[in-house]
């Protein structure tokens, strides 16, 4: 344990909330990465949405704090936060893996400045299939220096979390953006650290991406109206994100992936748009 970790190890408790549903193929990797953190004052909580595989069995090897709750990610995260203690909360998806100093760096920054309400941890995609590589190519642009249209804080000060009432359970998909935006409105700062989270892309095919965006689009209108965001903006229309125009030379330098990304954007936007319209019609 280095000096930094000794300095903070007996102070701030970090609750890590992991939401799961049939995650037996990926969960152990994440839990191992939590176990191997240089910062040790951690409590891991798994909130499972009625998995039918070995997810819970795997989780039991790493933590006793396992709960069954649903129906959606926002509700699971709020439940996990209620069932945990700690000055800070880190919300993770099961298909992630932490590099060793993620938590120590987040705690260090947060302890230095009480005005920090949330911390963005950059993600690096790990991909195997073609469309996973296309999605990873897209995300690599955001990780160059961060991008406000997609960045979302996962490490949250509990006081800030409680002040905003946690995640809005009426929102599924954009809740990752909604929470830190609510935190900022309470006067807190959102910062970014350097240590990475590895995010293992799981994309079966192009249709699976369309279906996912359609599902998220069903409740996106609630998020957009809540924050006064136009449905035609860089938040919703991938083609409008400035990061791609700022890096046009990189796009031209990799024409195959760039064209594939544009095709992916077209179908994702179509799926999200149809979901948005259906959600509006259904109220």
- How many C-beta atoms lie closer than 10 Å to residue 75's C-beta? 20
Q: Tokens for 213?
A: 């965006």
Contacting residues for 9 by C-beta, under 8 A, at least 6 apart: 1, 39, 40, 41
In this prediction, the residues of the chain whose per-residue pLDDT falls under 50 are 1, 4-5, 9
Q: Note the pLDDT of residue 11.
A: 83
Distance between terminal CA atoms of the chain? 53
User: What pLDDT does 5 receive?
Assistant: 47
What pLDDT, on a 0 to 100 scale, did the predictor assign at position 44? 98
Alpha helices in the chain (DSSP H): 3-8, 27-35, 55-59, 73-82, 102-112, 130-142, 158-163, 175-185, 206-217, 220-226, 242-246, 248-253, 255-282
pLDDT, tens only, 85-119: 999 999 999 999 999 999 999 999 999 999 999 99
Domain boundaries, given as residue ranges, for the chain: 3-127+146-203, 204-283
Specify whether the CB–CB gap between 189 and 114 falls below 8 A. no
pTM of the model: 0.92
CA distance 44 to 63: 6
Chosen CATH of 3-127+146-203 out of 3.90.550.10, 3.40.640.10, 3.40.50.300, 1.10.10.60: 3.90.550.10
| Three-point CA angle 85, 86, 88, nearest 5° | 130
Phi, psi of 254 (to 5 degrees): -135, 70
The predicted structure's pLDDT at residue 10: 54
């Amino acid at each position: 344990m280095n000096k930094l970790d000794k300095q903070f190890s007996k102070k701030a408790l970090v609750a890590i909330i992991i939401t799961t549903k049939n995650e037996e193929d990926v969960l152990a990797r994440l839990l191992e990465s939590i176990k191997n953190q240089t910062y040790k004052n951690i409590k891991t909580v798994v909130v499972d949405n009625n998995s039918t595989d070995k997810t819970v069995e795997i989780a039991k090897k790493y933590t006793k704090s396992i709960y069954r709750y649903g129906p959606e990610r926002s509700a699971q995260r709020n439940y996990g936060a209620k069932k945990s203690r700690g000055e800070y909360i880190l919300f993770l998806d099961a298909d992630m893996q932490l590099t060793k100093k993620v938590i120590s760096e987040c705690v260090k920054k947060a302890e230095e400045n009480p005005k920090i309400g949330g911390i963005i941890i950059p993600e690096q995609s790990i991909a195997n299939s073609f469309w996973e590589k296309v999605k990873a190519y897209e995300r690599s642009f955001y990780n160059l220096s961060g991008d406000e249209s997609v960045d979302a804080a996962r490490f949250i000060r509990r006081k800030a979390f409680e002040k905003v009432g946690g995640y809005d359970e009426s929102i599924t998909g954009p809740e990752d953006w909604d929470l830190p935006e609510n935190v900022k409105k309470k006067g807190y700062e959102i910062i970014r650290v350097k240590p990475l989270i590895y995010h293992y892309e799981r994309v079966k095919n192009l249709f699976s991406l369309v279906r996912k965006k359609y599902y998220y689009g069903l409740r996106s209108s609630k998020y957009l109206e809540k924050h006064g965001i136009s449905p035609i903006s860089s938040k919703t229309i991938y083609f409008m994100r400035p990061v791609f125009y700022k890096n046009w030379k990189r796009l031209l330098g990799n024409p195959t992936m760039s064209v594939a990304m544009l095709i992916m954007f077209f179908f994702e936007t179509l799926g999200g748009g149809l979901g948005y319209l259906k959600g509006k019609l259904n109220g």
